[in-house]
Structure 1
Amino acid sequence: MNAAPDLLAEVSWECARAGAGSTQAPELGWVIAPVPGTAAQALRDIGDPGALNRTYDADDWWWHCEFTVESAGQHALSIGGVATFYEVLVDDDVVLDECNMFIAHNLDLHLTKGRHTLLVHCRSLQPLLARRRPRPRWKSPDLVHQNLRWVRTSLLGRQIGGVQSPAPVGPWRPITLRHCGHPQLRSSRLRTECADDGSGTVQVVVELLGIDRSADVTVQVGDAEAPLDVAGHQGTVTATGSITLPRVERWWPHTHGTQPLYDVIVTAGSAEFHIGRVGFRTVAVDRSDGAFTLRVNDIPIFARGACWSPTDPVSLCDGDLRRHLETVRDGNHNVIRVSGTGVYPSAGFLDLCDELGLLIWQDCMFAFFDAPDEDDFNATLAEEVRQLLESFGGRPSLAVVCGSSDAEEQAAYLGLPPEKWVAPVAATLIPRLVAEHAPGTPYVSSSPSGSPLPSMVNAGPSHYYGVGAYLQPTTDARRAGVRFASECLCMACPAEPMDSIEGVVAQRRLGHHPAWKALIHRDAQSSWDLEDIREWYTRHLFGLDPIELRRADGSHAAAVARATVATVFEDVLSEWRRPDSSCAGSIVFEGHDVGFGGGIGIVDGHGRPKAPWYVMRRLMEPVAVMLTNEGVNGLAIHIANDGPRSWEGQLRVDLVSDGGHIGESLTLPVQAPVPGTTVDLMTALGEFRDISYIHRFGPPAYDVVAVTLVAPDGSEVSQASFLAGPRLRPVDAHLGLDATARQEEGDCWLLDVSTDRFAQWVHVNVDGWQPDDSWFHLLPGATRTVRLQPRPDVLPGPPRGEVMALNAARSTRIAVAP
């Protein structure tokens, strides 16, 4: 049924700054402010030039609105979350005083008919941080103030290093007010269980307002219906019970199966409430012998994805959330790690992850610091974590709960003994709450953890930066013996070109312009950033000097930078995805940029995939082929198969000579059981070839080796290439690259990309259109068809743009088929 109307839905909110310690709302300085929203968002929206650079924790901030009550009586005021120390006043009476931005509140108010005033007063954090507190066991170099460990707030805008943003202050989650005369849902808790006989049970607890306790209350899930037990006083009841479905379909991450969801509907008398949707699955972690392997429905899963933080850290809103998460899914990711430096996800985020088949690794909002162990702190934390876990109730997407991010690692780096690495809240309080409110959900005390030292990667979840910040060759991805990378592959990558003023300005800023560097992640204690790291790999892999490239041709320098990151991703993920790898997961840091430029995200600030996204998409297909260099043993062909059944088809091997023609080709039948198989290429060829160019008896006979999986219907499923000799092909003035667009039914266009000679790192740039593939190698005489989908900023008419290869002398304009 429809809920009672929200009396605040159409009101106009305003906010204003006041001095720290203010006791009354200011008379002047009010500006229009969206709610939910933050002070920084309100100032940004009115064009304040200092909006993104202000220290918001230095002042008090007030929000104000007026509303009208048509019918006197009981009303329910819902406060979704306010950052951070705040009070709520109705007609100058304080109705709530809180110190945790992550806790929601439901308040009962008796309101008379007429006009009323609602105020939200956010107090300055600086005087509160200045109070003397017990010292931590270690000091975090990442915090702007050590006493932030006592404050339950986001670390966005309160970290040293990283990408800077304003500290969130204000009502960042919705505030609603409804009359209680209408039947309405106050709160709900759901939990699911799967049985070995194929049945599934849903446990239900709902609190209903405006319902007579004598009413019959039932729950319906699918075709099953069951009564609920009712208790409470007149007008407010709590209904509890369970319902069992004799046979349920299991929910899977989208890489492994379908996502059946079941509506849960509670009926109380004539009122009907849609409580939510649930899914049935089991989730566990295999930790044997140092492993960390997610198992969904008893099947081991290679977890792949990226870390997530708010796409707009100024407002804490995620904008077009469906488009963002569909991009995650379309990249063949199956897990999202919600990092402990941001905020907890919204209900809409969780709904979409359930629908799209995305698992969630959920950090508690602790990072870098030694969490206190004190009664008042533990009490507010317990309520915070309880609400978090209940928001996941019945949802199949929850895969892991993590007590903190980087905390144990920080303690170890600073020389503390192992018994002091884990904060008591992460060792006892949080796991107890997980066992109570999300039983069976895997828990880890911190990311990283589980190895003898948090810096080691050969046991448990780890933060692997051997390839990356520690400047190891890509072969270290195998040598290190990574078991599960819960953070990895953090490297600045320029966004794809954009034909706009913003795109042109960004291109000119490439390198050391302050506006460009503002989007580049840098650790708090380092003198280098992650663009410096990428440039080291440009020298190491391609033998090029990035400084000279930028001086000569900024556009080509950006393309080489993208190709560098693409090559690193291809090398590392090929090692980890191969079936006999010890690694069971890779979560890239970070999923998206917060602005347009050269950030570390694999998706740019406008939601457009960058070069490493395309590489990851291809390597993480449910059935994918990859090549690894085994030195004197030649090349190994690895076929990964997520299942659920064996894959059968053809394996085609093409050996390219001089970049101009395929000198030899071999096709053989192949069968890849779950989780995959490995084929030795030398054995498949039946005689010696120096295909890896390790023996070097002379010039390489073949400069490119390509392997392609071909389905029984003749379609190409997956392709991988190995480049013998130098990793960068010389510029070829006679490449013969061609691109023609043709329209399908509706808004979709297909782009046929072909080449006469081998084209390295072909990339498609079409403003307003999203290609489903880019940054790939193309064999001589081959054609690849790329699907183009319109983006919201698409212009009328056919796609206009160009196709380029790293070894092309010039770009190729896209022609349109008649």
Structure 2
Amino acid sequence: MTHRPGRVATHRRERLVRDWELASVPAGSLSDPSQLADTGPHAWVAAQRPGTVAAALRDAGTWSLDHPPRRFDADDWWYRTHFTAPESDDGDEVVLGFDGLATLADVWLNGELLLSSENMFVAHEHEVRSRLRSGRNELVMRFRSLDAALAAKRPRPAWRAPMIEHQQLRWLRTTVLGRTPGWSPPAAAVGPWRDVWIETRSLVDVSHLRMHASVNGTEGVVQVGASIAAHAGQRIDAVVLEVERNGQSYRTLLSREAGTQFAGSLSIDAPALWWPHTHGEPALYGARLSVSLAGRNDPVTVDLGRIGFRTIEADTSQGRFAIRVNGVPVFCRGACWTPLDPVSFSSDRESYTQAIAQVRGAGMNMLRVGGTMVYEDDAFHDACDEQGMLVWQELMFANMDYPTEPAFLASVETEVRQQLGRLQSRPSLAVVCGNSEVEQQAAMWGATRERWAPALFHEHVPSWVRETLPLTAYWPSSAHGGAFPYQGDAGTTSYYGVGAYLRPQDDARRSDLSFATECLAFAHLPDASTITRMPGGESLRVTHPGWKSRTPRDLGAGWDFEDVRDHYLAELFKLDPSRLRYADHGRYLELGRVATGEVMAAAFKEWRRAGSRCGGALVWFLHDLWAGAGWGLLDDQGQPKAAMHILGRVLQPVSLAFTDEGGNGLYLHAVNEQAAPVAASLSIAAYNESAALVGHASQPIALDARSTRGLPVAGFFDGFLDLSAAYRFGPPPAQVVVASLLDKDAKLLAQDFHFPAGFSAQREDDVGLSAAITHRSDEGIELTIHTERLAQHVCVEWPGYAAADNHFHLAPRGARTLLLRGPASGAAHRGSLRALNSRRSISIEDSR
């Protein structure tokens, strides 16, 4: 983490990234660096860069997630490197910084103990100029065994957290990721998981920065306060706050308060507002301080990053929960974020930018950084600010009964103030939440009601949040509100009625869901290319132990999340998954891939429909932690699974969605969340099993900005068609009903399909699919696909290319032009095209 606030132009920072090595020794066997000579040179492993032990060994080729598990918490781990002191002038400070040490760490510089840390999430800085040698300097770090620390006798918790392997982990400020068998890979974080750096600080120091951007009526207001101290021989004449956008600059002089304190505010009339991308432009302004020093022509600039003007409120009226941005209700949908690399927890800026762009393209507008993960890098938050992605930010507490001893609270306070200080004036920050499911676990595992609301999250943390982020909504736990924390129609909850609890699909409506901070967990089947990277490769079957070892499950449960998937696969396609697995494993995978996506899409259609009171829902997970049938909508390398494609069409800011209202008939819900109205043509077509048109209607439609309309489909036709198959006068009159929203140029804006008799696993010999390459460019290939009959879940597979959309339906005599992005290195010259309801697969060839 780069500590976004206050990057000073005259400070020269160098990351210590070279010449590292690490070694493991039995827990407690060495007490200081002087004893390292006893380990022998053979014990040391060269590291390409500082990072977690698992990442270093992976880079060295001595360990991977495909190797037998290794318990990194069992040993003590020592790191060391040598570096040359940076050049500095008289009066400069030289600071050694550690952005994250996991977890029980001691650091020596040139044989002298510099610091000890017991919190993975706390950063450290030390002035070291007087301790540096003119030549070679040695930096040594020890990371003590967590297993040894957990063996200490401590009071028992008031409740159990079944996902956590060791209940006394509650005493240690570290991530549970990698320490939760059943759903995260065995790669516990040990080592310097964030940057280690040395910085020369010249002329001025900036600290205790406070910055808040707000909207007051028609004005945008930026408030700034900081301690700005000049080095010896320097004197500060003036400090100016400057805010700029599109070449327009706004400036104000800060007032000098007591000592080194400066403060002031700047007002901007009618600023461009920041919106989530689904509702408008995420407008950003650059902010900086200019510090003028006596006798110097050029001021010292302090980069404050980019800020945005918006209001975000948590609407908790009537016991519900919803988000309003700039006074407008926003249906929040998205997923629970997981680190792009669950071994190192580190990724580059471009990877974050691409990942958020991918999420944005799927119509999502909120990501939850949950308490089971880690605080994300500044580059993640930069990408969310820039691309209009709301962030639900939890503190790193999950499920457990945390202690309240003074030393523990002091460490947590430092952590909270540091981590939230990094998020000041982040326009994407929507909510700060105290923890993940602490209240829910307390209630589910028998703790008395007064224990459900620990003082840590209801007294201490909210006071620190109010001081650090006074304009940001605080929510005590991810599942909170109602008579019990997991009550779906009150506050926020973890919703698994449809999902782990195997409720019928109509429970998505019957629950009257308020807001789901996580929901709809399924073991989503990956594509064939992902399966080849699993232990056992492409011949692997879902019943193999190698496959099952990566299937998410709750510890101690007699079922896993593939059982959940199979339950809904059977319900959706009216078949026995266990029979299909041994009779036709390939077909089982094909149906299973789309089944979870269709169940999720149906739930979100209910939650977004006109008349729904739901404020939002976030899917558990976005991204798999390793190759397998995980909870992720994306696989471990970020490739979309079928479920991601299917769900993404339902989540778009302009969308259509059918809902079956039984005896009231079929309804169509038209959504326009954009800032501008939509004038379009809406057509509805019904086809029978012979692909004959049995009903068609079209009419102009005007959708107001940020509106949802529910339309009875029966009103489109002169005669009665039982398109919901509610009256059962005979077979359903149509196999499929298709709604299409077209703009004035006949461009498709949104589309949805309804199957009155439900989905079928039956296949035709040939539905008349064909495809042709219509355009090539540096971006990839445009492929135009035609069908004669209904084509369900059309899938394009072309190694080296990524389809912009996939697993979509085509109406009889319909066509779709699809972009295949690429080519990647080694891309094939041939791909294939198939539909789920056709036995025939089509070969496509690039003849270039």
TM-score when normalising by structure 2: 0.92
CA separation in 2, counterparts of 1:41 and 1:697?
Answer: 64
Distance 1:414 1:359, change over 3 A: same
Task: State the AA in 2 paired with 1:554.
Answer: H
- 1:487-566 equivalence runs, <5 A: 487-498=518-529, 501-502=532-533, 505-566=536-597
- Equivalent position SS for 1:490: coil
Residues 582-591 or 615-624, more deviating: 615-624
Distance 1:596 1:160, change over 3 A: closer
Quick check: 1:291 aligned with 2:320?
Answer: yes
- 1:687-766 equivalence runs, <5 A: 687-728=719-760, 730-766=762-798
CA separation in 2, counterparts of 1:789 and 1:456?
Answer: 43
Q: 1:128 aligns with which of 144, 149, 154?
A: 149
Which residue of structure 1 aligns with residue 822 of structure 2? 790
Which residue of structure 2 aligns with residue 24 of structure 1? 32
CA separation in 2, counterparts of 1:149 and 1:219?
Answer: 43
Residues 162-171 or 548-557, more deviating: 548-557
2:206–2:226 CA contact under 8 A, matched in 1: no
Q: 2:20 aligns with which of 1, 4, 13?
A: 13
CA separation in 1, counterparts of 2:208 and 2:379?
Answer: 16
1:74–1:179 CA contact under 8 A, matched in 2: yes
Distance 1:758 1:496, change over 3 A: same
Q: Residues 657-714 of structure 1: CA distance to partner in whole angstroms, max 9, x if unpaired?
A: 1152323211122233332111111132233212112222222221111111122221
CA separation in 1, counterparts of 2:582 and 2:136?
Answer: 65
Which residue of structure 1 aligns with residue 139 of structure 2? 118
- Equivalent position SS for 1:574: helix
Which residue of structure 2 aligns with residue 814 of structure 1? 844
CA separation in 1, counterparts of 2:696 and 2:327?
Answer: 40
Distance 1:671 1:504, change over 3 A: farther
Task: State the AA in 1 paired with 2:53.
Answer: A
- 1:607-618 equivalence runs, <5 A: 607-618=638-649
1:659–1:704 CA contact under 8 A, matched in 2: no
2:532–2:538 CA contact under 8 A, matched in 1: no
CA separation in 1, counterparts of 2:530 and 2:125?
Answer: 48
Distance 1:10 1:541, change over 3 A: closer
- Equivalent position SS for 1:502: coil
Which residue of structure 2 aligns with residue 101 of structure 1? 120
Which residue of structure 2 aligns with residue 449 of structure 1? 480
CA separation in 1, counterparts of 2:10 and 2:564?
Answer: 53
- Equivalent position SS for 2:533: helix
Q: 1:805 aligns with which of 822, 835, 838?
A: 835
Shift of 1:49: 4.2
Q: 1:56 aligns with which of 72, 86, 102?
A: 72
Quick check: 1:47 aligned with 2:54?
Answer: no
Q: 1:303 aligns with which of 313, 332, 343?
A: 332
TM-score when normalising by structure 1: 0.95
Q: 2:243 aligns with which of 221, 226, 245?
A: 221
Residues 681-690 or 495-504, more deviating: 495-504
Which residue of structure 2 aligns with residue 263 of structure 1? 286
Residues 178-187 or 470-479, more deviating: 178-187
Which residue of structure 2 aligns with residue 322 of structure 1? 353
CA separation in 1, counterparts of 2:205 and 2:833?
Answer: 56
- 1:118-197 equivalence runs, <5 A: 118-181=139-202, 188-197=209-218
Which residue of structure 2 aligns with residue 374 of structure 1? 405
Distance 1:717 1:240, change over 3 A: same
Quick check: 1:404 aligned with 2:443?
Answer: no
CA separation in 1, counterparts of 2:199 and 2:536?
Answer: 48
Q: Give unpaired runs (5+ residues) of structure 1.
A: none
Q: Residues 220-261 of structure 1: CA distance to partner in whole angstroms, max 9, x if unpaired?
A: 11111222345799xxx6644332223311100011111111
Distance 1:405 1:11, change over 3 A: same
1:627–1:636 CA contact under 8 A, matched in 2: yes
2:433–2:476 CA contact under 8 A, matched in 1: yes
Q: 1:37 aligns with which of 42, 46, 51?
A: 51
Distance 1:693 1:455, change over 3 A: same
CA separation in 2, counterparts of 1:102 and 1:571?
Answer: 39
Task: State the AA in 2 paired with 1:810.
Answer: R
Shift of 1:181: 4.1
Task: State the AA in 1 paired with 2:253.
Answer: P
Tell me the number of residue pairs that the alignment of Structure 1 and Structure 2 aligns. 813
- 1:561-710 equivalence runs, <5 A: 561-673=592-704, 674-710=706-742
CA separation in 2, counterparts of 1:692 and 1:92?
Answer: 77
Q: Residues 118-137 of structure 1: CA distance to partner in whole angstroms, max 9, x if unpaired?
A: 11111111222222223322
2:243–2:286 CA contact under 8 A, matched in 1: yes
Which residue of structure 1 aligns with residue 3 of structure 2? none
Q: Residues 44-103 of structure 1: CA distance to partner in whole angstroms, max 9, x if unpaired?
A: 222224776221111111110101125477411111010001111100111111110101
CA separation in 2, counterparts of 1:198 and 1:616?
Answer: 38
Residues 343-352 or 173-182, more deviating: 173-182
Distance 1:112 1:247, change over 3 A: farther
Shift of 1:794: 3.9
- Equivalent position SS for 1:439: coil
Shift of 1:268: 2.2
CA separation in 1, counterparts of 2:741 and 2:624?
Answer: 34
Residues 636-645 or 548-557, more deviating: 548-557
Q: 1:422 aligns with which of 432, 453, 456?
A: 453
Q: Residues 360-412 of structure 1: CA distance to partner in whole angstroms, max 9, x if unpaired?
A: 00111111111111211111101111111111111101001111111111111
CA separation in 2, counterparts of 1:275 and 1:659?
Answer: 64
Task: State the AA in 2 paired with 1:806.
Answer: L
Shift of 1:620: 1.3
Shift of 1:3: 5.4
CA separation in 1, counterparts of 2:225 and 2:820?
Answer: 45
Shift of 1:2: 5.1
Residues 101-110 or 554-563, more deviating: 554-563
2:47–2:60 CA contact under 8 A, matched in 1: no
CA separation in 2, counterparts of 1:123 and 1:659?
Answer: 70
Distance 1:74 1:816, change over 3 A: closer
Q: Residues 336-367 of structure 1: CA distance to partner in whole angstroms, max 9, x if unpaired?
A: 00011110011111111101111100111111
Shift of 1:175: 0.8
Which residue of structure 2 aligns with residue 75 of structure 1? 94
Task: State the AA in 2 paired with 1:67.
Answer: F
Q: 1:86 aligns with which of 105, 127, 142?
A: 105
CA RMSD of aligned residues (A): 2.2
Q: Residues 600-644 of structure 1: CA distance to partner in whole angstroms, max 9, x if unpaired?
A: 100111111111211222111111110011112210111122132
Shift of 1:556: 2.1
Which residue of structure 1 aligns with residue 382 of structure 2? 351
- Equivalent position SS for 2:383: helix
1:305–1:335 CA contact under 8 A, matched in 2: yes
- Report % sequence identity: 35
2:213–2:222 CA contact under 8 A, matched in 1: yes
Distance 1:768 1:208, change over 3 A: farther
CA separation in 2, counterparts of 1:92 and 1:149?
Answer: 33
Task: State the AA in 2 paired with 1:180.
Answer: R
1:78–1:177 CA contact under 8 A, matched in 2: yes
Residues 409-418 or 752-761, more deviating: 409-418
Distance 1:654 1:341, change over 3 A: same
